[in-house]
Amino acid sequence: MIIGSGPAGYTAAIYASRANLGPILYEGMQPGGQLTITDMVENFPGFPDALSGQELMERMRQQVVRFGVEIRPHLCVKSDLSAAPYHFVFDDDTQVEADTVIIATGASAKFLGLSDERKYMGQGVSACATCDGFFYRRRTVAVVGGGDTACGEAIYLAGLAKKVYLVVRKPFLRASKILQQRVEENEKIEILYETNTEGLYGEDGVEGAHLVFRKGETDERHYDLPIDGLFLAIGHKPNSDVFKPWIETDESGYIKTKNGTPCTNIPGVFAAGDVADPDYRQAIVAAGSGCKAAMEAERFLQGK
């Protein structure tokens, strides 16, 4: 069984089906994964012309269907990995047992909680500078966050954009010293300390952000900042809760795997894609890990 339907889940399904394992794939709450909310994809090999994330994932799904994989639309809500065969309950009350499981449930970007974030998603709002930064060459963007991820994304975007604002709600950066230094020394990056994002505006996409300086203080000040794009860099939450306490995770909830393989601490249970990847979070990396997970599942079953 494969739980999740992003690049990792779909690739695992293709390889598992071609190995005659008869996989069942559960799509979960977001069929196609996070890539479906990415406007354009230009860095996935084999597609010289840009295509939308939605189209790329639909093509992957069609390939999965072509190989006869049974796809079910439900979300896993409970698991019991104490002993094989492993037991799962889904949101339609279906209970399923499987000898091998590939967990490919991804990681969800953390949002500020503004309604405008969803409104402009794919139209100026992004949670991945590496994915979408290319579309903001010689334009003005803002990055929200003050940790390593935010500083790293600001530095990356500074190599593409005309101007980068780093919106930090605290009066300091939480990032490592070396990243702080690189951000502070980059003349394209301007840090807006003690600043919160309250909303966005624009007709056919993001044209600016509503900001507030020193919110709740006597010198509180509201103003609008013209920008072409807003990048959220306040972290990701791996979708691993349903597999606890059986699966070992790190302090952030990312599933731990062994020695560069997709193998977890439980025999026959494998993890692929962003749910086990706090570092790269790229479609091509996820797809590769899905391939490895399917191959490991096949070897595991052969060994039994």
Distance CA 144, CA 170 (A): 11
| pLDDT for position 274 | 95
Closest CA to 134 of 115, 108, 161, 113: 161
Kind and range of the H or E run holding 13: helix 7-18
Query: Can 91 be counted among the known catalytic residues?
Result: no
Query: Can 291 be counted among the known catalytic residues?
Result: no
> Quick one: tokens of 22?
């008869």
| pLDDT for position 122 | 83
Main-chain phi, psi angles of 86, to 5 degrees = -80, 145
Distance CA 135, CA 160 (A): 9
End-to-end Cα distance, the chain = 17
| pLDDT for position 42 | 84
Handedness of CA 221, 227, 233, 237 (dihedral sign): positive
Longest dimension (CA), the chain: 69
Catalytic residue chosen out of the listed positions 132, 228, 274, 277: 132
What is the Cα Rg of the chain in Å?
21
| pLDDT for position 39 | 67
Catalytic residue chosen out of the listed positions 76, 116, 128, 277: 128
Query: Can 128 be counted among the known catalytic residues?
Result: yes
How far is the CA of 90 from the CAs of 72, 177, 247, 297, in angstroms?
A: 10, 45, 18, 22
| pLDDT for position 118 | 85
Distance CA 28, CA 46 (A): 27
Give me the residues of the chain with pLDDT under 50, please: none
Contacts for 44-49 with beta carbons within 8 Å, 24 or more apart? 44/283, 44/284, 45/284
Distance CA 127, CA 97 (A): 35
Distance CA 162, CA 199 (A): 22
Catalytic residue chosen out of the listed positions 131, 151, 263, 291: 131
How far is the CA of 28 from the CAs of 24, 31, 51, 236, in angstroms?
A: 12, 6, 23, 18
Distance CA 293, CA 290 (A): 5
> Quick one: tokens of 149?
């991820």
